[in-house]
Structures are given as C-alpha cells and as structure tokens.
A and B are shown apart, each in its own frame.
Chain A
Amino acid sequence: MTLIKTASAVAVIILALTAAITSTIPRHVDPLTVSDSVPNPVELANLYSIIANNIAYLDLTSAIGNVSTAKNIYIPKRFEGIILRVNELLEEYILSINNSKSLIDMLTTLVSRGDYKSSTTLLPEAYLSLAEARITHISLTKAVDGLRVLGVPSSEVRELANSTGTPLEVLGRYLDGLRSVVEEAISNATETELTVWVSRAEVSYGDVVEVYGRLTTTSGEPLSNQLVITHFGPKNTYVITDSEGFFKTTFIADIYIREALTYAEFMPRGEGLTYCRSNEVLVMVDFYTPNLRLTLSDEKVTPGQTTYLTISTDTYLEVYVSTKLVGDLKLDVYGEMVVPIRIPKLVDEGSYLIVARSAPRGYVGPTTNSITLEVVRLGPKFYLDIPKYVIVGFPATIKVMSDISYVLEAYTIPPTQTVVIGDEVYLNIPLSYLDPEISVVFKMMPTDPKFRSEETVFKIPTYNPISITTSLIGVGLILTITMFRGRRGRHEVLRGSGLEVVKEGGGIDDPIRKSFNELLGILSKLTGVLFEAHQTFREYVRAIEGRVSEGVRDTLSNYFMRVEGVVYGPPTTKGLKDVLADLLKELISWLRGLMP
C-alpha cells in the first residue's frame, strides 16, 4: 500500500515537471522533412531557351557551357531521367553541329584557295556530318517534349525544338552553295601542276639555298605570270612565274631546324585554274648544338644558405639563367663559370627549377638545360622541462631548452595567465580552476631561418588544494561521526533494556548484585571471555561460540532467556527480585558443577 502511494506520487510529479519544460521552435528546416520540389517550369524553360538561342546563333561554346550549368538543376528522382536525357542529347547535338561547322569552314578555305580537288573529297564528309546532326535533332525534339511533364508549356517546348533546328537549315544551305561552286569550278576549271627542286640538299647555317620550280597545267602547258608561294621551313616568299612557267627564289638557311621542308603552292585567283601543291624536298641544315652543363655544389639547401651553380660550356655562350629564387641572370660563359645562389630567408620549402638557355650565335645554335634545387628547413630540437603536475593557485615554471636561438610563445587551453620570459614559461592557474588537467601549447619559432617553427601541446594534471583539503576534512568528519555513533548506538540499546538495571546496579539490592558479579567471574573463568558491560546476553553467547561445547552454550542460552523472561515477562506472585535471585543461584550452581 505504502509502495503504491509512493509510486503514484512519483508519477504525478514527473508528469507535471515534464509538462512545464518545453523546447523552443527551431529556426531552420530539417532537409529530410522537406518534400521534393520540381524546378520552376518558367525558369526551366528560360534556361533551355538560352541554350537554344546559343545553338541558333552558332555560339556553340556558350551553348556547351550552359548545358553544363543545366546539369546542376535540382530534379526529384522521379523526373531525373527526363532532364538527363535532354542534356545528353543537347550535348551530342551541339558537338555534331560543331563538327559540321568545322568541316564547312575547312571547305570554305579550300574553295577560296581554289583547291577544288580537296574540296571534292571533303564535301561528302560534311554532308554526312550534317545528316548525323539532323538525326540527333529528331531525338532531341522528342526528348524536349518530356519537359511538359515538368510543367513547361507546350508552346515553349515547340519553340525550343524549332530554335535548336535553325543551324541545320543555315549550314545545309551554305553547304549546298559550296557544292555548287565546287561543281562548277571542277567542270570549268583547268587543273594545274607544280614541281620544285633545290640547288643543294645539304647546307650549313647561313648558306644560301636556291629553290627552282615550274607551274604548268596537267597537260603540260606552262602557266606564266602566276603567283607562286615557296616555302623553306617556316619561311616563305612569293614569286612570279616566267613565260615558260618557271620560277626561282633564294633562301638563306638562317633557321635552327635540322630538316627544312621545302615546297611550293599555287593559289589561283579566279582564271579558271585549280589550286595545286608541289612535291616536298627536305633540305638538311647543319649547325652546332653546344654543350651546356649545370651542376650545384649543394642540391639540398636551407633558407639563408648559399649554393654555387657551375655552368660549363664547350664554347662561348650567352646564357640566360632563370629561377624563382633569384630571378633572371644574363651571363657570358666560356668554359666554366660559378654563380652563387643565395637562398632567401623567407622562401617556402620545396623544389625549385633552375633553367639555363643559351642564345644562338651563327653556326652555334641554341641549347637549354635545367637542374632542380631543393629547399628544406631543419626540424629544431627542443627539450621541455615540464612538471609532472601543477597545484593550482601556485605558480608553475616550464623551462624550454634548445641549442638554437628562438622566440617562444605559449598559451593554455582554456586560457589562463601565462607569461613567457626568455626560455621560461610561468603558469599561474587560479584557485577557481577545477578541471583535472590543463593543455599548454608551445610555439617555438627559431630565429635562424634554416629551422622550421614547431608547435606542440602538453597536458599537465592539475590538483586543487582547496578541493583536496575539503575532501580530507570530509573523510575525517565522516569517520569521526561514524565511530561516535557506534558507541552511542550501543549505549542506547543498553539503556533501553531492563538488564541495565541488573548490570549497572543503579539502586539495586546487594544479594542480586553479588550473585551477578559471581556469575560474571565464573563465566569468564569457564569460557575465557569477559562479559563486557556493553554486551547483551545474546552477544555474549555469540562471543563464547567455539570456546564451550554446544550443550553448555545452549543451556547457558536457555538460562539467559529465562532471566529475560523474568525481567520482561508478566509479574509473578513471588516477586521479581526473589525469582531473579533464585534463578541466578541455580545458574551459578550449574556453572560451578562444570568447572574443573
């Protein structure tokens, strides 16, 4: 019943407290509880319209860029397929339009050059590319139709399909125009032929090379007074054919290319002639590539250090040395030259490339070489003399030792008063600090730039003297109280029992007291255990267990119970004192019988 009452009280109070404490409404939205939104159809249509316009105006670079942007639109999973397919087909379509456009541009160049032969080869390829684009566009039109599911109006969808198809018409018409030009030219134009030859197939740098050639029709008829472009490696020049169709020009072999490709081209300007290109002749140009060797005295250095770059050449060279460490240098080197490279103090660690290039000089061509220099910082050695623990409220000192010069910074987490003087850190943690440990962060910044800075954290246990003292006092108090209560407790037990009257003898008759004392003496002799003043009969019986036989113990126990029965039981006619006196005598007599 009591338990039920308590449980009910607990339940009521908990419910009441729970109702009283409520949490506030948060300011954000849990993304998982937000329902998936489809993109706004108007904005979607706008974005694809921009792409369609890009395509229509053949701004294919912007179109591809905007398709990449469109890939980032958020689409709920159930509609993802539609947008994915539209974007995929748009990309494919743009690429095929781009391909067709490139082919048409090449055709335009060939036709303007009069190269109808090559144009004829390229025309079918261009038409094929356009046909492929057309097929892709059909698929795209169908896919774009799917945007209606996302709410894009049909009119917008139709507009998208139409806009994206514009380049097909434009390019198709242009291609047709080119084809007409080519066909007409082929049917009406005369084919030409061009041949070249050179005076020398092997020259040295700076030598003169003569290039000869002849321009004729394919039937051998010379073409006079025609402009021909001759090429010698990267150089070219224009020359006019003579009455027999021959031409001649000279080049100076002042190029540092081992094999100079030599050929000629005829680009007709109307006149019913076709473009032609001559045979190719390779002219070998001889020049000297010098040796340029680089070595470093130290390939791994520290900031502030100097290393020496040795530049070795086998001939006089004008050498340009460039590196991020020291900038650019211009040197005149013949044989060997040593250049000091001083590493800046604040440079970052890492690998640095030193590049050396020589300027060409006539027959001596250019050359280049490079070498890598590694900049490293050394790890400094620090020794910290940290106390094993800190007693808060008392200053603590941490000594930092090192064989290099440095600047020291230190702080604690959480922040407390920390003073750094020279190489010592003084901590003054207040008495109010109760955490069991404190973290101390040391930042050692060497003054010598060849060493890197180090940061390290140490955790030091902390002890609060007030807390510990209070705990010890508390332990002492508790122990004292417990011991004191024990004595008082027993005394109270004794005080409550009527036996106190018998034992302590406050106002008792002498015969009973005498008998009781005699009893105590016999008991202590017989059992070897003294009947203490604070003990009850039961406690004494427990105390003599093992010292006397079971039978004696039980009999003694019965006698004690009879004494208790007399003291605590109902009144007798004979009188308490007489009954007690008789009982004590009986007990004493029996005990005497047991004694040896």
Chain B
Amino acid sequence: MIKYIFYGLAIALIISSGIVVAIPSTDDFSPNNPLWNGLTKFVKYYNTTLITAVDVGKVPKGGVVLILGPSTTFRDDELGVLVDFVGSGGTLIIADDFGTSNQLLSGLGLNYSFTNALLADDLFMYRSPRMPRVRAYLSGRDYELYLNYPTTIDVGSLSSCIALSSPFSYLDLNLDNSKGVEEPYGPFCISYLIKHQLGNIILISDSSIVINAMIDLGGNRAFIDDVVRGREVYVVSDKWVRSTYAVVRDGLVGVLILAYTSNLRYLTILITCLTTYLGIRRLPKAVRVRYVDEVIKEVLERNKGWSLDLLKRLARDLGYE
C-alpha cells in the first residue's frame, strides 16, 4: 500500500512538473508570458537579454537598459552601477506607472518624479478614457503612443518633454472615472529625455507600452525602435515581485535547460537513457510476473502434489522474477 502511495506521489509530481513547465507564467512583464501582459513580443523584436541590476555594469558601452515598473528598491551599489552605465554612453529607459521607481530617480540624482496620479482622456483615447493616446516627438519624427493606465511625470517645464497628453486629458485623482472640478486638465508630460554625460535617461510614465497587448498598437513599436536604434537591449529582471508559480516554473525550466542544453547535457542524457532503458525492461517483467502467477496456479491445479515454493524457485531460475 505504501509502495502505491509512493508511486502515486512520484507520478503526480512528474505530471505536475510537466504541466508547470508547459504552461507559462502569467506574471506581468514575464519574458515567457505569451498572454496580453507578458513580454514575449518585446523579447522577440529586440532580442532582449535579462540581467540583474548589478550586472548592468557588464553591459557593453552604448547598450540600452530598460527598467520596467520596479516593485523593489535599488541598493546603493546598484544605483552606482546605473549612473556609471549612463555616464559612459549607455541609454537607460525607466518606464513606470505606479511611481515605484521614484526612489531610483532620486538615487540617480534626478529632480523629476512620476506623479502616481492616473491620467485619463475622454476624447483622445483607445476604447477607454484610462487608455489615452498621446503624441511623442523624437528625432524629428512624430508618434502616437497608446497608453494603458498611465501616470505623468512631474517636470519643471513641458517644453522639454518628448511626449505630451492632449489638452483634454486630466488627472483622475479620486479615481471616479470622470473629470472633477479640482482635477487638473492637461497637457501633461508623458516622456522626458535627460542627457547625462555621454549617455541618456528616458523616462516614460507608462510601463505598459511594451507588453504584448500594447506594443503593436499605434506608434508604440516605432517609438521604441527609434529609442533603441538597433542597439543591444537588456531588461533588469530582478526588481519585480514574482508569483510563486513563476518562481517554481523558472526554477524547473532553469533545471531542465541546465540539464539538457548546457555542458551537463552529456551526463543528463546518459542518465535519461539509462533510466528509460531500465524502466522499459522492468515493465514487461512486471507484466510477466502477473502472467507467471497465473501459470503457476494452473500447473498446480493440474499437478496437485507439486510444491508451490519449488515452482516459484523454478520461475525465478528461468528469470521470470
């Protein structure tokens, strides 16, 4: 009985693991998430590499690093690495709509912040006032960006903004989906470019323009193409709070990738083949065991005087057990 429970647990674990590996995570910004809120399209279009914040120091000069809606704070050493990266010619894009990266902005010595107020537009929108459309101007070209629950950037003067909302946009401060008397009208700054030594920092007050559902809308992709300009793109992936499912899945997938595509594959493939071979050998034997029991039973019925123990030994001698 215990044996059956053990077998059941083992098979269930293998099947569950298989299901977990096959079904991607549904986390926001997950690079493996093909659903509307994932980043599979962005990763595919720009051949993106995921790195940790501290590894930004290893990104080659002139690369592009994207920080998307960070949920955790940045340490001093990480801030130092980011400042050096930009100073030596890199481009740092910070896209945030919850204001969680304001700690990063002040750590970088910037006097700007994301307001964390929800921007709405009752006229220039896409399907909903909370998905406003804004105009962006970069490198002498004009883009129409489609946003998804964005915020705004608090800057001194709108004249240096590279994207602005329409004059009909407003900040829905009380989140009642309508313009109140005390709620200010636009235009508001949506994207801002800061030159720092040899590099640039680009602030975007909506992290959603790169998700699968939004990247192909309007001029979102063309705008990102203009910012990236064919350079290597890296996404900082260790500042999101991941779900348990994502952690478990990434662990399993990581183990599989390590086992079957890395230099460990030689040993792993060997063990897999051996396990499979032994499994195949044991299976007919298990079938044969059941068959031999029935044969012994029949022999005993025909030869009532024969010894059961001896017949079992004979069966063992013949390799049926």
A27 at the interface (CB under 8 A from B): yes
Q: How far is the CA of A494 from the CA of B314 in the complex (A)?
A: 10
B261 on the A face (CB < 8 A):
yes
* 16 A-B pairs (CB sep. < 8 Å): A9-B7, A10-B8, A17-B16, A23-B26, A24-B26, A24-B28, A26-B27, A34-B128, A39-B122, A47-B168, A413-B232, A415-B58, A435-B261, A467-B262, A467-B266, A568-B307
In the bound complex, CA of A27 to CA of B71 (Å) = 12
Pair B213/A30 contact, Cβ less than 8 Å:
yes
B136 to chain A, nearest CB (A): 14
Which A residues touch B274, using CB under 8 A?
Answer: 478
Does B106 belong to the interface (CB within 8 Å)?
A: no
Interface residues in A1-49 by Cβ distance below 8 A to B read 2, 5-6, 8-10, 13-14, 17-18, 21-24, 26-32, 34-37, 39-40, 42-44, 46-47
User: Chain B residue with minimal CB distance to A15?
Assistant: B12
Binding site for A on B (CB under 8 A): 4-5, 7-9, 11-13, 15-16, 19-20, 25-28, 36-37, 49, 55, 58-61, 69, 97-98, 122-131, 133, 144, 148-149, 168, 178-179, 208, 211, 213-214, 217, 232, 243-246, 248, 258, 261-267, 270-271, 274, 305-307, 310-311, 313-314, 316-319
Q: Is the CB of A2 within 8 A of B4?
A: yes
Given A43-B123, A436-B263, 17 further pairs, Cβ under 8 A: A6-B8, A10-B12, A31-B36, A31-B126, A37-B129, A39-B125, A43-B168, A413-B232, A415-B59, A464-B262, A471-B267, A478-B274, A568-B313, A568-B314, A569-B305, A569-B306, A569-B307
Q: How far is the CB of A296 from chain B (nearest CB, A)?
A: 31
CA distance A411 to B55 in the complex (A): 14
Q: Mark A212-229, 1 if CB is under 8 A from B, else 0.
A: 000000000000000000
- Closest residue of chain A to B63 (Cβ to Cβ) is A411
Tell me, rounded to whole Å, the shortest Cβ–Cβ distance linking B81 to chain A. Answer: 13
Q: Which residue of A lies closest to B126 (CB)?
A: A74
- Give min CB distance, B126 to chain A, whole Å: 6
Q: Does A353 contact B (CB under 8 A)?
A: no
A46 to chain B: which residues have CB within 8 Å? Answer: 168
List of B residues within 8 angstroms of A464 by Cβ: 262-264
CB-CB under 8 A for A30 and B127, given A6-B8, A467-B263, A475-B270 = no
B59: which A residues are within 8 A, CB to CB? 415
Contacting residues, chain B, for A18 (C-beta < 8 A): 16, 19
A32 to B36, CA, bound (A): 9
**Is the pair B28, A28 in contact by a Cβ cutoff of 8 Å?**
yes
- Residue numbers in A under 8 Å from B232 (CB-CB): 413
State the Cβ distance, B197 to closest chain A Cβ, in Å: 19
- A327 near B: Cβ within 8 Å? no
Q: Are A34 and B131 in contact (CB-based, < 8 A)?
A: yes
User: Quick check: A497 and B317 within 8 Å, CB to CB?
Assistant: yes
Is A462 interfacial (CB 8 A cutoff)?
yes
Residues of B within 8 A of A475 (CB): 270
Note all chain A residues with C-beta closer than 8 A to B5. Answer: 9
Q: A6-B4, A31-B127, A570-B305 are in contact. Are A471 and B258 (CB under 8 A)?
A: no
A463 at the interface (CB under 8 A from B): yes
- Asked if A23 contacts B211 (CB within 8 A), the reply is no
Could you tell me the dominant secondary structure of chain B's interface residues?
A: mixed
Within 8 Å by CB of A72, from B9, B133, B244, B261, lies B133
Q: Are B131 and A21 in contact (CB under 8 A)?
A: no
Question: Least Cβ distance of A257 to chain B in Å?
Answer: 39
Closest 10 pairs (CB-CB, A-B): A9-B8, A40-B122, A434-B262, A464-B263, A415-B58, A13-B12, A471-B266, A467-B263, A471-B267, A568-B310
Question: With A31-B214, A467-B262 known to touch, is A72 a contact of B124 (CB < 8 Å)?
Answer: yes
Q: Is the CB of A29 within 8 A of B122?
A: no
- In the bound complex, what is the Cα–Cα distance between A300 and B19 (angstroms)? 64
Are the CB atoms of B69 and A27 closer together than 8 Å? Answer: yes
* B25 and A23 within 8 A (CB): yes
A29 B262 Cβ-Cβ under 8 A: no
**A493 lies within 8 A of chain B by Cβ:** yes
Q: How far is the CA of A34 from the CA of B20 in the complex (A)?
A: 29
Q: Which A residues are CB-close (under 8 A) to B246?
A: 23
Interface residues of A in 405-461 (CB under 8 A from B): 409, 411, 413-415, 434-436, 441
Whether B125 pairs with A37 at a CB distance below 8 angstroms is: yes
Per the bound structure, the CA–CA distance linking A3 and B311 in Å amounts to: 27
Question: Which of chain A's residues have a CB closer than 8 A to the CB of B243?
Answer: 22-24
Smallest distance from the beta carbon of B60 to chain A beta carbons, Å? 5
How distant is the Cα of A171 from the Cα of B58 in the complex, in angstroms?
71
Give CA–CA (A36, B128) in the complex, Å.
Answer: 6
| Contact status B267-A474, CB under 8 Å | yes
Do A471 and B37 touch across chains, with their CB atoms under 8 A apart? no
What is the CB-to-nearest-CB distance from B169 to chain A, in angstroms, rounded to a whole number? 10
CB distance from A284 to the nearest CB of B (A): 48
- B245-A22 in contact (CB<8A): yes
Verify A411–B60 contact, CB threshold 8 A: yes
B-chain residues with CB within 8 Å of residue A21 when the two chains form the complex: 20, 244-245, 248
Instruction: List which A488-514 residues lie within 8 A (CB) of chain B.
Output: 493-494, 496-498
Instruction: Kindly provide the distance from the CB of B141 to the nearest chain A CB, expressed in whole angstroms.
Output: 17
CA distance A362 to B37 in the complex (A): 76
Q: Which residues of chain B have C-beta atoms less than 8 A from A498's C-beta? A: 310, 313
* Contact assessment for A434 and B263 in the assembled complex, using a CB-CB cutoff below 8 Å: yes
A37 to B148, CA, bound (A): 14
CB distance B4 to A434 under 8 Å?
no
Query: Is A73 positioned at the interface, with any CB of B under 8 Å from its CB?
Result: yes
Q: Is the CB of A27 within 8 A of B245?
A: no
Q: Nearest Cβ in chain B — how far from A214, in angstroms? A: 60
- In the complex, chain B residues whose CB is within 8 Å of the CB of A36: 127
Contact at A73–B149, with CB atoms within 8 Å? no
Q: Complex formed: what's the CA distance from A70 to B19 in Å? A: 50
Known: A31-B217, A415-B58, A436-B261. A13 touches B28 (CB 8 A): no
Given contacts A34-B127, A34-B128, A474-B267, whether A5 and B4 have CB atoms under 8 Å apart is yes
